[in-house]
Structure formats: structure tokens, C-alpha cells
Structure 1
Amino acid sequence: MADMVRWQAISMRPFKGSASLKSNQRKGANMPRGGKRRGAGRPVGSKNMHSLAEIREISTAAQSFATVALEALADVAQNSKSDAARVSASIALLDRGYGKPCAVEDPDTRFRALMQDMYERIESRAETINDVIEKRQREEMSATSQ
């Protein structure tokens, strides 16, 4: 316990020559905090660490345990004392048997979105056509005036 109190006292002590801990924290505020950096990441053209054959091999090995995993899930769903575990196992079994349920979307909302998108496309094409017509009219006017 004494070590813990000593450690807390040391960790909260400001650095030498500084006024407070907050001013020390501000000193490092200009340092980059991730994001896109030159030279970071996997080089272009380099190969992935795992080949497709290795990925298929791992997938095949995992699939060989599918029946055991399903039996374990069924056992938990039927015999577990915890309601949360039974519900979780039941959901996992249903997801694997019938697929995860899709999000239900209001048909009216989807229809409105499609109509709005179509209206915007028609409007932008009409503006483009009007621009072309105006350009041709100006060209004809300039050709007739010369």
C-alpha cells in the first residue's frame, strides 16, 4: 500500500523546470497523432502476409469443427443456467441456420429517396441541356452577326 501511495505521488509530480503538469502536457500538443504519414503502411506491390492457399486451409480447418461448435451452442441453449447465455446461443444458432435478419426499412421512405434521387438527376440533365441550347444560340447569334 505504501508503494502505491509513493508511486502516485511520484507520477503526479511535475517535471523539473516546469510550472505544472498541464503545461507539460501542452508541450507535446504539436506532435503528430497518426493519420496519413509518408512511408507508413505496407509498401505498394508487396505481397500479403497470408496467401490465398493459407486462408483456404485455415477456413477448411475451422469448418471441420462446425458440427462440434453447433452441438456446443445447442447444449448451451438447452442446458445453461444463465438466461443470457441461452439467449446468446439461440441467436447464434438461428443466425447460422437462417442468416442474420435484414434491417426493415419503411417502403415509403425508400420510395421518397428514390424519387428525390430521380428528380435531382432529371434536374441536372435539364440544366445541362439548357446550357447546351444557350451555347448553340450564342454561336448562331455570333455567326449571323458577322
Structure 2
Amino acid sequence: MRLTVRTNLAMRALMFCAINADRTVRKAEIAEACNSSENHLGVVINMLGQTGFIETTRGRNGGVRLKVAPEALSVGQVFRVFEANVPFAECFAGSENHCPLTASCRLRGHLSVALEAFYSALDGVTLADLVRDNSGLRTLLELETA
């Protein structure tokens, strides 16, 4: 199993916002710290904003900040938003499924159970769990105060 780049960037951006919770951060700051292009990050930020995880402000003093408390945002919630439309295997791909075994194969049912267990495990992990008392992450992501 491999996460999409968008899911990975979403978690990086959320951790960046959580570490810098006392301020509005700019997309360029997140992109630099998270080793991402601003364009790719822009798509992720847009999706995070649409889900209500962050709030965005346009303009000269604009940027992004968490809209949800880190304690209330589970990693499972984020992963479901970004991974839900990515089929785990061909048999999950709807009209794109061309597997000749689909009608008789029992693997899909077991994969569904395993995927739900994966998401359920991540439901128990919050954004706060990832950043709380994490001095290494703080060193990497915290912006200097002006």
C-alpha cells in the first residue's frame, strides 16, 4: 500500500499549521518546509479548505490556519478525504475494473475489511498526537516569531 502524494502533503501541511497555530501561515512557507511545489500544495490546501479542516484568507495578509482543533482532527478523517477516490485494487475501480475474476473472487471482501481496519487504526490518532511534545518536528516546521 502506498499513500498518494496529496495525502502525504495534506498531513505535512496540517502538521505545519498545528506547529504554527498562533499565526496565519503562507502557502510558500508550507511548500518550502514540506519540500513541495506551491502549485501542487495549492490543490491540497483547496481540498483541506473545502473539508473545513483549515480556513484560508486571500490577499496581502492572507494565508491558511487550522479551523479544527488538532485534538479533534483524526488522521483517519484526512486519509479518507484524500484516499477515498483512489481505488486500492482494480476490483475497486468501478467502470475501470476489467479483472476477469471479479464475479467469483473473494479477495475484494477481505481487502475491504483490511482497508477499514487501516482507517479505523488511524481514526485513533489525532493531529495533536503527531505534534504534541515533538521537539524534532517543531524544530523542522516552526516559523520564527517576528
Question: How high is the TM-score relative to the length of structure 1?
Answer: 0.19
Higher relative contact order (CA 8 A, sep 6+): 2
Question: How high is the TM-score relative to the length of structure 2?
Answer: 0.19
Please identify the structure whose Cα radius of gyration is greater. 1
Structure with bigger strand share is 2
